[in-house]
Structures are given as structure tokens and as C-alpha cells.
């Protein structure tokens, strides 16, 4: 009976551990990302392309937002007011350069569990106008641009992302920062300095040394999948069915451009770049984006705010539709406006074939960034509940991985114990003689010896030794079978 109980106990422990581990694991019907992360089906809110479009129009309506102008000041004040209306605490980061006396970034923070690991999304709120190639950079009287595409699309989309994030009401795993940079645009051939000053100020002055950053840059998109190219373009040499959305990302294979700029690529930079490219690829797969028209590729040109992050050792990606000055291999349809009076809402609608197509193009970029964020929010759902150090803990979606991975080891241990017990005959059925010996041993163990202290005389019964078999003269409590021969003629082989 004792051995039988041990077997039952072992089986019970195995079943209990399996049940416990199953409870810790994500449910079988939970939606899974391509990276294996369990994600909730419906976020509380989601960014909408039509709202991003409206924000882009509002930015364009401020006029020519060149640095150090009233139009620029008005646009950034409006961004700050919108963010405060969403409930954010707005941080205004003023800075000055040789060309700009009153430049200012607008930044909001969503605190995460990991204070030293940031996800930053940025777009620039300034605009510029000068002559196109081959005489690029010549400014002239009357040249102005409303900057609808460059970068009203990015700034307007970032505002819409901020609105959606404000409704999620959970703490993300990483700390998230949203930044609207001033002075991204080069001021032309007569300028004493290059562009990218707003993001450079943030990277060099606002990121502590111990903080690791992943940066997403929104600059000129909407003319991208699923927006079809114009029939006129196709008739005059455009061989592509859709505008392409590029995700120019920290290189995995070709670092030559950044090495030429003086960057010493470390193993950590390489690992971060691989993680980011893989994650973006997984997101596009989850969103069913066609790889032909939504492409994650090595960034080999810089040319926007993500450059400063990569040069500082952080991983980054630039989400960008097509424009006329950067020709990618195989592109034949680069006709979008940039740094010109033609960069307007009207031009954008005409190139896309209507407002709805512009909204659809914006939605593609919004979905990518929002999915990246939603995965991060979900990754932290149980991190908040169990109080485990998030810098050391691993998780699978919203569930802790430690208990789940412990189950196979525990089960293996139990199986090993059962195997050894069988090899040692722990559970082998007893013979009749062994059973009688066990009963006799138990009876002997129950018998006690009484001794009178101080006299040296003892009164008692000798305990039955292990291995004694039953006989007729010692009847144990409850025994009804003491009939064996002893000290008699009947004690014979025949009788036995």
C-alpha cells in the first residue's frame, strides 16, 4: 500500500505541474505575432489615416515653416497645444545654432517599465524651398513651400499616433518618446551648416549615456503602397504598379556609408540592427504587406534625422515613400514633391489619385509603427503584475516564460524517478511469503519493551525481528491466521 501511494503521489505531482504550467502559458487561441509574441486581439484605439491626413493639412495651412519664422513658431505651438489636449506633459526643448536663433523641439514621454531602454518616434516640423537638382540648394525670392509631403505627412501622422497611444491606458515595456524636430532641413547652398540640427540636439543632449534607443523616423510617406502609380506615369516609363514604401534601416550587410562617415560598428550595433530588421519584417508579414512594395532594406544614404541616431550607435529606421531626389535600384517612378512650391496638399492628392489614396498610404506607415508599439505594450502586461525585475525576466507575449519552461524539466525528473523505481522493483507485486514477512515486521515494530529504571530487571516481550514469519503462539492484534506448527509432531514438510 505504501509503495502504491508513492506511485499515486508521483503521478499527482506530474499532473499538477502540467496543469500549473498550462495555466501560465498563453492560451492556444491567443493571436500570435511572427516573433511568437502573444498579442491581444483588439487594442483600445488605433491610429487612423484620415486623422493623420487632417493633421497634415493643418500643418500645411501654417504656410512656409522655415526655421526662425512666425509660421514655424505657430506650427510648433499648435503641435504642443494638441498634445496637451490629449493629456500629455509637453517638453519644449529650445536650442540655437549658427543659422537658427530660436529653434525648438517638441517632445512627450510615455514612461515604461524599462527606464534605460527607449523607443523614439520622430518627425520634423520645419520646411524649406530651394532649386531642384542639378542646381539644388539655390534659394530665390518668392520660393516657399507648405511642406505637405515633407514633412507634414510625418508630423501629422506622429500626432495621430500620440492620440491613439493616449487611449491605451497601459504601461509599455520600453519608455517611449515622441519628438517633433526643428531644423531638419538644410538651409541651402549659402548656409554655414547642414541640417538635422533638431534631432542632433536630442541625441547629443537629451539621451543619457547608459540609455539604449531604437528610433523610428517618419519623413515623407503616403505616396506608397497601396497607392497605385498614375496611368500617365506608366505610359511615360514608370514600370511599377504601386508606389513603394521603404524602411531604410540600420544596415545588416552594408555599413560602408556609415563607416565612411566615421562610425565604428560594434557587435552590439550589428545585433541591434538585425533585431530591428527582423522585427519590421515580422510586422509587415503580420500585416500582410507585400514584400515587393513594402521593403525593409539597409540604409546606405542617411539623408534624414535617423542618421544622427545611427551615428550615435543606436538602431534606427526611416519610413519613407518615394520622392524625386533619391532613386533606389529599380525605381522608375520618382515624381513626388520635395523642397519646392509644388509640395502641397493639392499636388499630393493629384499624384495619389485622390484623398482616399493618400489616407490609405498614410495608414500603411501608421499600421507598422502602431503594431511595433502594441507589441511592446502587450509584452509588459504581466511584467507589471508579478513584480519580477524586467531587466532579467523573459516573457512570451503577456506570460512569464520561466514557469512554462520549467515544466518539461520537472516532468523529466518525475519520469526518471518512475523509471528507476521500476528498475529497482519498487512496485513489483509481493509474493505470499514477502507479504507475511511484511505483516510480521509491522507487528514487531508495534511491540514495545518495558524496563523498570534502577532495578536492572526488565519485564517485556522480545520484539519480532525482521523476517520472522507467523506462528501459532504469538497472536498479534487483529491476526486471525496464527495456525502454523511449532514444537509438535505436526511440524513436518507435509504439514507445511
- What pLDDT score does 141 carry? 84
Q: What is the CATH number of domain 30-382?
A: 3.40.630.10
- What pLDDT score does 132 carry? 76
**Res. 297: pLDDT tops 70:** yes
Here the contacts of 211-214 (C-beta below 8 Å, separation 24 or greater) are 211/116, 211/117, 211/118, 212/116, 212/117, 212/118, 212/272, 212/314, 213/118, 213/119, 213/120, 213/309, 213/314, 213/315, 214/118, 214/119, 214/120, 214/174, 214/272, 214/276, 214/314, 214/315, 214/316
Q: Read off the pLDDT of each residue in 103-115 and give the average, rounded to a whole number.
A: 98
Read off the pLDDT of residues 317-363 as tens digits, 9 standing for 90 and up. Answer: 999 998 665 666 667 776 667 788 999 999 999 999 999 999 999 99
Q: Read off the pLDDT of each residue in 92-120 and give the average, rounded to a whole number.
A: 98
Least Cα distance to 350 among 487, 149, 60, 83 occurs for 149
- What pLDDT score does 238 carry? 81
The C-alpha cell at 483 is: 495456525
**Res. 126: pLDDT tops 80:** yes
pLDDT band at 424 (very low <50, low <70, confident <90, very high): low
pLDDT band at 488 (very low <50, low <70, confident <90, very high): low
pLDDT band at 172 (very low <50, low <70, confident <90, very high): very high
**Res. 263: pLDDT tops 60:** yes
- What pLDDT score does 10 carry? 52
Residue with the larger pLDDT of the pair 331 and 14: 331
The answer to whether 315 and 275 have CB atoms below 8 angstroms apart is yes
310 by DSSP, 3-state: which? helix
Q: What is the mean pLDDT of the chain?
A: 80
Please report, for the chain, the start and end positions of each structural domain, with discontinuous segments joined by +: 30-382
Dihedral in degrees, nearest 10, Cα atoms 318, 251, 306, 289: 10
Q: Read off the pLDDT of each residue in 293-301 and give the average, rounded to a whole number.
A: 96
Least-confidence region, from 146-155, 168-177, 257-266, 454-463 = 454-463
Helices 70-85 and 153-165 pack at an angle, to 10 degrees, of 20
Question: d(Cα 379, Cα 310) in Å, to the nearest integer?
Answer: 25
Q: Give the best-scoring range by mean pLDDT among 54-58, 132-136, 393-397, 417-421.
A: 54-58
3-state helix, strand, coil in the chain (%, to 5): 40, 15, 50
State yes or no: cis peptide before 134, omega within 30 of 0: yes
Show the beta-strand stretches assigned E in 237-330: 245-249, 294-298, 315-320
Give me the percent of the chain exceeding a pLDDT of 70: 66
Give me the percent of the chain exceeding a pLDDT of 90: 58
Rounded to 5 degrees, φ, ψ at 106 are -115, 125
- What pLDDT score does 440 carry? 58
Residue with the larger pLDDT of the pair 231 and 232: 231
Least Cα distance to 93 among 113, 111, 79 occurs for 79
214 by DSSP, 3-state: which? strand
Here the contacts of 325-334 (C-beta below 8 Å, separation 24 or greater) are 325/132, 325/133, 325/136, 326/301, 328/244, 328/246, 331/240, 331/244, 332/237, 332/238, 332/239, 332/240, 333/229, 333/233, 333/238, 333/239, 333/240, 333/243
**Res. 374: pLDDT tops 70:** yes
Residue with the larger pLDDT of the pair 139 and 236: 139
**Res. 482: pLDDT tops 70:** no
Residues in Cβ contact with 44 at an 8 Å cutoff, skipping those fewer than 6 apart: 167, 168, 169
Question: d(Cα 440, Cα 437) in Å, to the nearest integer?
Answer: 5
Q: Give the best-scoring range by mean pLDDT among 285-289, 396-400, 427-431, 476-480.
A: 285-289
- What pLDDT score does 375 carry? 96
311 sits in which H/E element: helix 306-311
pLDDT band at 42 (very low <50, low <70, confident <90, very high): confident
- What pLDDT score does 418 carry? 55
**Res. 390: pLDDT tops 70:** no
- What pLDDT score does 337 carry? 76
Instruction: Give residue for cell 499616433.
Output: 161
**First-residue to last-residue Cα distance in the chain:** 28
Question: d(Cα 49, Cα 349) in Å, to the nearest integer?
Answer: 14
Q: For the chain, how many helices (H) and strands (E)?
A: 14, 12
- What pLDDT score does 457 carry? 34
The C-alpha cell at 346 is: 493639392
Q: Residue-wise over 432-459: b if at least 16 C-beta within 10 A, else e? A: eeeebbebbbebbeeeeeeeeeeeeeee
Q: Read off the pLDDT of each residue in 92-107 and give the average, rounded to a whole number.
A: 98
Question: d(Cα 157, Cα 296) in Å, to the nearest integer?
Answer: 20
- What pLDDT score does 380 carry? 75
Residues in Cβ contact with 351 at an 8 Å cutoff, skipping those fewer than 6 apart: 223, 230, 335, 336, 337
Residues in Cβ contact with 234 at an 8 Å cutoff, skipping those fewer than 6 apart: none
Show the beta-strand stretches assigned E in 321-460: 395-396, 399-400, 449-451, 458-460
**Res. 405: pLDDT tops 50:** no
Q: Read off the pLDDT of each residue in 230-240 and give the average, rounded to a whole number.
A: 81
pLDDT band at 268 (very low <50, low <70, confident <90, very high): very high
- What pLDDT score does 329 carry? 66
Claim: this prediction has a pTM higher than 0.75: no
Amino acid at each position: 500500500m505504501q509503495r502504491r501511494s508513492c506511485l499515486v503521489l508521483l503521478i499527482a505531482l506530474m499532473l499538477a505541474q502540467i496543469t500549473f504550467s498550462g495555466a501560465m502559458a498563453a492560451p492556444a487561441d491567443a493571436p500570435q505575432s511572427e516573433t511568437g509574441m502573444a498579442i491581444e486581439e483588439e487594442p483600445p484605439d488605433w491610429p487612423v489615416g484620415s486623422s493623420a491626413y487632417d493633421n497634415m493639412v493643418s500643418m500645411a495651412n501654417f504656410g512656409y515653416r522655415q526655421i526662425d519664422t512666425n509660421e514655424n513658431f505657430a506650427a510648433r505651438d499648435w503641435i504642443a497645444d494638441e498634445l496637451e489636449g490629449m493629456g500629455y506633459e509637453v517638453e519644449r526643448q529650445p536650442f540655437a545654432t549658427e543659422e537658427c536663433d530660436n529653434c525648438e523641439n517638441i517632445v512627450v514621454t510615455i514612461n515604461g517599465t524599462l527606464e534605460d531602454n527607449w523607443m523614439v518616434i520622430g518627425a520634423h516640423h520645419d520646411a524649406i524651398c530651394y532649386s531642384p537638382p542639378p542646381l539644388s540648394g539655390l534659394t530665390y525670392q518668392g520660393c516657399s513651400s507648405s511642406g505637405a509631403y515633407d514633412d507634414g505627412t510625418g508630423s501629422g501622422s506622429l500626432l495621430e499616433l500620440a492620440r491613439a497611444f493616449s487611449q491605451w491606458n497601459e504601461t509599455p515595456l520600453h519608455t517611449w518618446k515622441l519628438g517633433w524636430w526643428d531644423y531638419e532641413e538644410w538651409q541651402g547652398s549659402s548656409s554655414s551648416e547642414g541640417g538635422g540640427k533638431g534631432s542632433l540636439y536630442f541625441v547629443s543632449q537629451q539621451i543619457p549615456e547608459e540609455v539604449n534607443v531604437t528610433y523610428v523616423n517618419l519623413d515623407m510617406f503616403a505616396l506608397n503602397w497601396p497607392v497605385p502609380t498614375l496611368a500617365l506615369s506608366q505610359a511615360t516609363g514608370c514600370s511599377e504598379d504601386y508606389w513603394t514604401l521603404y524602411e531604410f534601416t540600420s544596415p545588416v550587410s552594408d555599413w560602408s556609408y556609415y563607416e565612411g562617415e566615421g562610425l565604428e560598428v560594434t557587435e552590439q550595433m550589428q545585433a541591434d540592427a538585425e533585431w530591428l530588421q527582423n522585427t519590421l519584417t515580422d510586422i509587415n508579414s503580420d500585416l500582410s504587406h507585400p514584400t515587393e512594395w513594402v521593403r525593409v532594406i539597409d540604409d546606405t544614404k542617411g539623408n534624414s534625422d535617423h542618421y544622427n541616431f545611427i551615428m550615435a550607435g543606436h538602431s534606427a529606421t526611416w519610413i519613407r515613400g518615394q520622392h524625386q531626389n533619391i532613386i533606389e535600384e529599380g525605381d522608375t517612378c520618382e515624381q513626388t514633391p520635395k523642397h519646392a512650391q509644388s509640395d502641397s496638399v493639392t499636388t499630393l492628392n493629384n499624384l495619389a489619385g485622390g484623398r482616399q489614396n493618400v489616407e490609405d498610404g498614410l495608414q500603411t506607415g501608421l499600421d507598422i509603427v502602431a503594431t511595433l508599439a502594441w507589441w511592446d505594450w502587450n509584452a509588459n502586461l504581466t511584467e507589471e503584475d508579478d513584480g519580477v525585475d524586467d531587466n532579467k525576466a523573459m516573457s512570451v507575449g503577456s506570460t512569464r516564460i520561466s514557469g512554462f519552461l520549467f515544466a518539461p524539466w520537472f516532468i523529466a525528473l518525475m519520469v526518471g524517478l518512475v523509471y528507476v523505481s521500476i528498475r529497482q522493483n519498487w512496485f513489483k507485486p509481493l509474493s505470499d511469503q514477502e507479504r507475511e514477512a511484511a505483516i510480521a515486521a509491522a507487528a514487531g515494530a508495534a511491540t514495545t519493551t518495558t524496563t523498570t529504571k534502577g532495578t536492572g530487571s526488565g519485564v517485556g516481550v522480545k520484539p519480532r525481528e525482521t523476517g520472522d514469519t507467523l506462528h501459532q503462539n504469538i497472536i498479534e492484534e487483529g491476526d486471525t491466521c496464527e495456525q502454523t506448527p511449532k514444537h509438535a509432531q505436526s511440524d513436518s514438510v507435509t504439514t507445511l
